[in-house]
Amino acid sequence: MVPTELLRFEEVGIHLGGREILSPTQFSVTRGEFVCIIGPSGCGKTTLLRAAAGFVQPSTGQVRCNGQVVTGPTRKAAFVFQDYGRALLPWRTVSGNISLALEAAGVPTEQRAARIAKVLDTVGLGVHATKFPAQLSGGMQQRVQIARCLAQEPELMLMDEPFGALDAMTRESLQDEVSRLVQETGLTVLFVTHDLEEAIYLSDRVIALRANPSAGKPSLAAMIEVGIARPRDQLLTKEDPEFLRLRRELYGFLGHH
């Protein structure tokens, strides 16, 4: 299969409140690719992701998805918010929350139950279908949000530090789960994180951003291919010399100068 381009940032610069958040940045994401964006806090990585989703309009340049200029949010791009507690409807059960995506897509009522069961099965939440979000742990709530995003059958998954608020064990198991899902479905992912190891472990390519862009120093600091074979393993991959080399190479971009 010839890799085709899904997402393209064309000299996208973003100013918010009179401050330059992102200096003109250019890159593209191939269909099926897993790209992580890392950078110190305040470097504009979340803003970049929100621009990809259409929540933020670039001040200069444009974002293209499938060749079309992104002017607002679309169902083709699913957004996984960091704060799962604020992204789920507390008055709807797990099924009900998934159903929202199907209702939005105009899926007929009689087809919804089967599709809800299918995505819940994919994320291992089948037995919790009738529970409310407040009855679930953080990791499970984030799974519900991922399941809702899968239910909208997106081409592109935009994930904003989705595991940032979870404990280390849960984070690792969700990393593996998302890796598996992406491999199975062929989804394209743009994933924001400030966790260097998470970025290398998950991605095919890491884009590093730098804080406080200025004329001399653009936002885009580095773009590094991660050639480590898949499936990856929490222990073995993280001991791989290539993993360690990439980790050393990227270390400086997180403000550890």
27 or 55: CB nearest another protein? 55
Pick from 40, 73, 164, 255 the residue near another protein by CB under 8 A. 73
Residue choice 79, 163, 191, 201 for contact with another protein (CB under 8 A): 79
Q: If binding is defined by CB under 8 A, does position 78 make contact with another protein?
A: yes
Q: Return d(Cα 168, Cα 94) in angstroms, integer.
A: 24
Instruction: Find, among 46, 52, 58, the residue nearest to 15 by Cα.
Output: 58
**In degrees to the nearest 10, what's the CA dihedral of 121, 161, 254, 243?**
0
Single-letter residue type at 95: S
Least distance between another protein and beta carbon 134 (Å) = 5
By CB under 8 A, what part of segment 93-112 binds another protein? 93, 100-101, 103-105
* 225 binds another protein per the rule CB under 8 A: no
The two beta strands, 34-38 and 19-30, are unpaired
For another protein, which stretch binds (CB under 8 A), given 26-34, 128-136, 196-204, 210-218? 128-136
Measured from the CB atom, is 83 or 249 closer to another protein? 83
The distance of closest approach from Cβ of residue 235 to another protein in the complex, given in angstroms and rounded to an integer, is 29
> How far is Cα 160 from Cα 168, in angstroms, rounded to an integer?
17
Does residue number 72 form part of the binding site for another protein (CB under 8 A)?
A: yes
Helix and strand numbers (H, E) in the chain are: 8, 10
In order of 100, 111, 132, 139, 188, the CA distances from 93 in angstroms are: 11, 18, 4, 16, 28
The answer to whether residue 74 forms part of the interface with another protein (CB under 8 A) is yes
Binding site for another protein (CB under 8 A): 53, 55, 72-75, 77-79, 81, 83, 86-87, 89-93, 100-101, 103-105, 132-137, 140, 152
